[in-house]
Amino acid sequence: MKKSLYIIAVAVVTIGLMSLQWKKNHYNVLDKSAVISCLNMETQQAYQLEASQKPFANMHPSPVTVNAENLLGEMIKYPSSDGKNAQGYFIRSKKKSDKWLIVIQEWWGLNDNIKLESDKYYSALGDVNVIAVDMYDGSVAATPDSAMKLMRGANMERMSNIINATISHVGKGAKIYTLGWCFGGMWSLQTAMLAGAQAKGCVMYYGRPETNLEKLKNIQCDVIGFFGSKDKSPSPEMVDEFEKNMKSVDKKLSRFNYDAGHGFANPSNPSFVAAARDDAYEKTLAFLKSH
């Protein structure tokens, strides 16, 4: 009898210790957006390194100051998971709409040019909410040197938090479309990945492509991209690889190439090509409307 009681006591203590050890080593499961955000850091950091160097800056002369009077939207703030508010330039649809266009800045920051582009797409698309995300938390560069400084000091984890905060802000029922140029082109694709099934269309203008096939499998919408055959970032070879990778994971990419360099859609860039910009703009509108 005493032996049986001893065995039972040992078993109870053993089970208790095992339970404590399980609790000690048990971690909360990360949600899908957190996992994807972590995976995508490789591409973001590669861009950050490249955009912090002079050769990249030399492709980006100081932007021309634009007249941004009578803007249609306003700046708003919304919570982020890191405890620091995110913000963006917001234009509400005139009619209640579950469609949201997330616009993402160039490496200069959320300047007046991006706000005007947001106004233009809002007016052309009709019943859609537009939000241009402020990825630099209020900082805006006016020269290549200042843009490089901002990029060198950028926190890519914070930027991922800003994008995730924006996705949360528009709501679980929102149909999300993304659009961006250069830095914003890269983030347009990354945002489509983070948006998951809510993503309905992604537009990227000469943005750094994703190279990891496992990450590309997370895309759940069609992608349209506009690239310059004379561009060095991304180079035509890099875009060729992107197109090949998208096909290999059964994702749809509509690729358009122009006889132009980096920034061909930006009137303030010496590489600006009006005909290419106009053609890409019309194709972008057709793509967004069809989706």
pLDDT tens profile 114-129: 999 999 999 999 999 9
What pLDDT is recorded for position 136?
Answer: 97
Residue 22 lies in a domain: no
Residue 8 lies in a domain: no
Cα–Cα separations (whole angstroms), residue 123 to 93, 117, 276 = 10, 10, 21
Residue 56, domain extent = 31-290
Residue 26 lies in a domain: no
Contact (CB, 8 A) for 156 and 44? yes
Residue 16 lies in a domain: no
For the segment 224-254, what is each residue's pLDDT rounded down to a tens digit?
A: 999 999 999 999 999 999 999 999 999 999 9
What pLDDT is recorded for position 41?
Answer: 63
For the segment 134-169, what is each residue's pLDDT rounded down to a tens digit?
A: 999 999 999 999 999 998 898 999 999 999 999 999
How many structural domains compose the chain?
Answer: 1
Q: Which residues contact 47 (CB under 8 A, 6 or more apart)?
A: 183, 186, 208
| pTM (2 d.p.) | 0.84
Q: Residue 171 sits in a domain of what CATH number?
A: 3.40.50.1820
Q: Could you give the percent of the chain with pLDDT greater than 70? A: 86
pLDDT at 10 over 70: no
Q: Whole-angstrom Cα distance, residue 94 to residue 285?
A: 19
What pLDDT is recorded for position 54?
Answer: 85
Q: Whole-angstrom Cα distance, residue 129 to residue 135?
A: 19
Q: Whole-angstrom Cα distance, residue 283 to residue 266?
A: 16
The alpha carbon dihedral of 118, 101, 162, 265 has a sign of negative
Q: How confident is the model at residue 59 (pLDDT cuts 50, 70, 90)?
A: confident
